[in-house]
C-alpha cells in the first residue's frame, strides 16, 4: 500500500487545486524562458538568414539595428572592388506605423538590393519572392496582411506577393520586405506641400546669392526635383552587406575595409554580439532576473504547501510512529508527494503552454533544452520543498497521538 497515494485520495480536492496552481506558475516560468529565447531569435533572424559575412556601417556607429546608420548607396561599388569580396549589397532598415482598415499597423521595413536579392532566403509560407523593382512586398504573417492585399505607403500602393513566418524584428514588429528603392521612397516620403515649400526655399536661397543672380538658369534648376541636382546626393542606405568570396581570408578583407575612415565593419558574429549584448541586453537581463525570482517563489510556495499538508496529518504521522513505522516510510510519504506534485504541475504547464504560447503577441520559442532544464529544475525544487515538511514530520513524537 502506497501511503502517498492514499493521502492524496483523502485530500483530492486540495491536491488538485495545488497542482493547478503549481502548473500555472511553472507555465509562467516556461513562458518567460520562451520569451527570452524568442527575443534573441527575433533579433538575429535577419543576420542569420541574409547570408552576409560582413556588415559595413557608418563610421562610429553600431549598425542598422542598434542605431541610425547612413551610408551612400554607391559605396557598394567601391566595396565590390576590394580583393576577396564576392558581392556587396545595399541594405535599408527602418520602422513605420500606418493605419490600415482602421487599425494601427506597425512594421519594420527592410530593403533588399534588387535584382541581386529578391528575398529567396526568406521563409515563405505563401506566394513568391519579389518579381519586379517596384510596388511589391513580402510581409510577415504577424502583420495580418493577406496574399494579394494592397497597402498604401506614402504616394505608392504595394501588393503583397509573399507571406513569411517568423520574420520579426527585435522590437517584436513584423518585417516587410521591399526593394531598396521602394524602402527609401517609404522612408523619405514627404507631403506634396512640404516638397513645394522646400523647393521654394531652395530657389530663394539661390536668388539671394551672387551666383543665382548672375546665372538665372540655376534658379529654374533649383526649383526642380532633388534628383536633378548634381550637388544633392541620392538617399542614404542603412548598411552595405558583404559576402566574402570562397577561399578568401575574411580577416584580410575586414582589415582592408576597416582602414577606410568613413566606415566601420563588423563580422556576422560581431553584429550578433551587438544585438544580443547591446540592443536587447537590458530586456534579456530583466527576463533572466524574473526567471530566477520565479524559481525561488516556486520553491517557497511548494515548500509551504507541503508543510501545510504535513501539519494536517501530524496526528496520522504520530499514529504511524506509535505503530512502529520507520522514519524512512514517513520521509518517503512526503518526498513522493512532493515529486508527484512537481511532475503533475510540470505536465500541466507543458500542456497549457502548447495552447497558450502561440497566442502571445511576442514569439515564445520553447526548445527541447528549455523543457529538459525545467524538468530538472522542477525535480530540484520538489526535493528542496519537501525538506521543510520532512523536518516537521521527523520531529513529531509518537505520544502526540494520545494528546
* pLDDT digit string, tens, across residues 83-100: 999 988 888 888 888 888
Domain shared by 379 and 288, yes or no: yes
Q: What DSSP state is assigned to residue 237?
A: B
- Percent of the chain past pLDDT 90, that is, above it, reads 10
Confidence (pLDDT) at 212: 47
Three-state DSSP class for residue 395: coil
Same domain for 230 and 82, yes or no, is yes
Domain count of the fold of the chain: 2
The pLDDT value given to residue 362: 76
Cβ-contact 143, 248 below 8 angstroms: no
Alpha helical stretches, state H, 50-110: 75-80
Q: Which of 33-37, 121-125, 225-229, 246-250 has the lowest mean pLDDT?
A: 225-229
Domain containing residue 226: 49-279
Same domain? For 60 and 28 the reply is no
Of 247, 279, 311, the last residue of a domain is 279
Residue that wins the pLDDT comparison between 100 and 229: 100
Among residues 75, 59, 56, the alpha carbon closest in space to that of 234 is found at 75
> Which residues are within 8 A (CB) of 115 and not within 5 positions of it... i.e. 6 or more apart?
133
> Does one domain contain both 305 and 340?
yes
Residue 1 pLDDT: 41
Distance in angstroms (rounded) separating the CA atoms of residues 341 and 41: 33
Q: How far apart are CA 161 and CA 176, in angstroms?
A: 11
pLDDT band, very low/low/confident/very high, at 267 (cuts 50, 70, 90): confident
User: In which band, very low, low, confident or very high, does the pLDDT at 12 lie, cut at 50, 70 and 90?
Assistant: low
Clarify whether residues 318 and 347 are in a common domain. Answer: yes
Q: Are residues 162 and 307 in the same domain?
A: no
H or E segment and range at residue 239: strand 239-244
78 and 215 co-located in one domain: yes
The Cα 48–Cα 166 span in angstroms is 13
Q: Which of 232, 263, 279 is the last residue of a domain?
A: 279
Q: Look at residue 139 in the predicted model and tell me its pLDDT.
A: 93
Query: Would you say residue 223 has pLDDT above 60?
Result: no
Q: Are residues 337 and 270 in the same domain?
A: no
The answer to whether residues 8 and 94 belong to one domain is no
**Percent above pLDDT 70 for the chain:** 79
314 has a pLDDT exceeding 80: no
pLDDT in tens, 330-348: 777 777 778 888 888 888 8
**Residue 253 grid cell:** 578583407
Does the pLDDT value for residue 377 go beyond 70? yes
Please tell me whether residues 73 and 35 are part of one structural domain: no
pLDDT: which is higher, 267 or 317:
267
CA–CA dist 262, 201 (Å, integer):
31
What is the per-residue pLDDT for 129?
A: 92
List all residues 6 or more positions away from 389 whose beta carbon is below 8 Å from its beta carbon. Answer: 303, 306, 307, 309, 310, 334, 338
Query: How confident is the model over 271-297, as a mean pLDDT?
Result: 78
Q: pLDDT confidence of 206, banded at 50, 70, 90?
A: low
Cα–Cα distance measured from residue 244 to residue 337, given in angstroms and rounded to the nearest whole number: 60
* In a shared domain, residues 215 and 199: yes
- The model's confidence at residue 189, banded by pLDDT at 50, 70 and 90, is confident
Kindly give, in sequence order, each residue whose CB lies less than 8 Å from that of residue 175, ignoring residues fewer than 6 positions away: 45, 46, 107, 108, 109, 110, 140, 164, 167, 168, 169
* Averaged pLDDT score across all residues of the chain: 79
pLDDT confidence of residue 163: 93
Q: Are 267 and 322 within one domain?
A: no
Distances (CA, A) of 220 to 91, 164, 191, 214, 275: 34, 47, 21, 13, 47
Q: Could you tell me the three cell numbers for 10?
A: 483523502
Higher pLDDT residue, 255 or 32?
Answer: 255
* 389: DSSP letter: H
Distances (CA, A) of 86 to 73, 248, 253, 361: 18, 9, 11, 39
Model pLDDT for residues 132-176, shown as the tens digit of each residue: 988 999 999 888 899 999 998 888 899 999 999 888 887 778 899
* Nearest Cα residue to 111 out of 145, 149, 66, 158: 158
For residues 78 and 1, the model is more confident at 78
Write down the pTM of the prediction.
Answer: 0.72
Residue 48 pLDDT class (50, 70, 90 cuts): confident
- DSSP-derived pairing of the beta strands 150-153 and 156-164: antiparallel
3-state percent helix, strand, coil for the chain, nearest multiple of 5: 55, 20, 25
Among 216, 244, 279, give the residue marking a domain's end: 279
Of residues 232 and 261, more confidence is placed in 261
Amino acid at each position: 500500500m502506497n501511503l502517498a497515494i492514499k493521502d492524496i485520495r483523502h485530500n483530492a480536492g486540495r491536491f488538485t487545486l495545488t497542482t493547478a496552481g503549481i502548473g500555472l506558475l511553472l507555465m509562467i516560468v516556461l513562458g518567460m524562458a520562451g520569451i527570452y529565447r524568442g527575443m534573441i531569435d527575433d533579433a538575429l533572424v535577419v543576420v542569420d538568414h541574409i547570408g552576409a559575412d560582413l556588415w559595413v556601417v557608418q563610421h562610429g556607429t553600431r549598425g542598422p539595428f542598434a542605431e541610425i546608420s547612413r551610408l551612400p548607396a554607391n559605396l557598394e561599388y567601391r566595396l565590390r572592388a576590394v580583393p576577396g569580396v564576392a558581392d556587396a549589397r545595399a541594405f535599408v532598415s527602418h520602422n513605420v506605423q500606418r493605419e490600415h482598415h482602421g487599425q494601427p499597423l506597425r512594421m519594420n521595413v527592410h530593403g533588399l538590393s534588387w535584382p541581386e536579392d529578391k528575398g529567396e532566403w526568406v521563409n515563405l509560407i505563401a506566394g513568391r519572392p519579389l518579381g519586379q523593382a517596384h510596388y511589391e512586398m513580402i510581409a510577415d504573417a504577424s502583420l495580418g496582411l493577406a496574399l494579394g492585399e494592397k497597402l498604401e505607403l506614402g504616394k505608392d500602393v504595394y501588393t503583397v506577393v509573399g507571406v513569411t513566418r517568423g520574420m520579426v524584428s527585435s522590437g517584436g514588429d513584423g518585417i516587410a520586405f521591399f526593394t531598396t528603392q521602394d524602402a527609401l521612397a517609404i522612408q523619405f516620403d514627404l507631403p506634396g506641400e512640404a516638397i513645394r515649400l522646400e523647393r521654394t526655399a531652395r530657389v530663394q536661397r539661390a536668388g539671394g546669392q551672387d551666383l543665382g543672380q548672375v546665372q538665372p538658369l540655376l534658379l529654374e534648376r533649383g526649383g526642380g526635383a532633388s534628383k536633378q541636382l548634381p550637388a544633392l546626393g541620392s538617399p542614404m542606405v542603412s548598411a552595405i552587406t558583404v559576402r566574402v568570396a570562397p577561399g578568401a581570408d575574411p580577416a584580410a578583407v575586414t582589415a582592408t575595409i576597416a582602414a577606410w575612415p568613413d566606415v566601420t565593419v563588423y563580422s556576422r558574429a560581431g553584429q550578433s554580439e551587438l544585438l544580443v549584448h547591446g540592443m536587447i541586453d537590458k530586456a534579456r537581463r530583466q527576463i533572466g532576473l524574473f526567471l530566477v525570482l520565479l524559481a525561488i517563489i516556486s520553491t517557497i510556495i511548494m515548500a509551504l504547501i507541503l508543510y501545510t499538508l504535513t501539519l494536517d496529518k501530524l496526528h496520522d504521522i504520530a499514529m504511524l510512529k506509535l505503530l512502529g513505522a520507520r522514519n524512512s516510510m514517513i520521509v518517503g510519504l512526503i518526498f513522493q508527494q512532493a515529486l508527484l506534485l512537481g511532475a503533475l504541475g510540470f505536465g500541466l504547464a507543458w500542456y497549457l503552454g502548447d495552447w497558450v504560447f502561440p497566442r502571445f503577441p511576442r514569439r515564445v520559442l520553447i526548445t527541447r533544452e528549455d523543457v529538459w532544464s525545467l524538468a530538472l529544475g522542477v525535480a530540484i525544487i520538489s526535493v528542496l520543498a519537501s525538506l521543510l515538511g520532512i523536518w516537521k514530520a521527523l520531529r513529531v513524537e509518537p505520544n502526540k497521538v494520545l494528546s
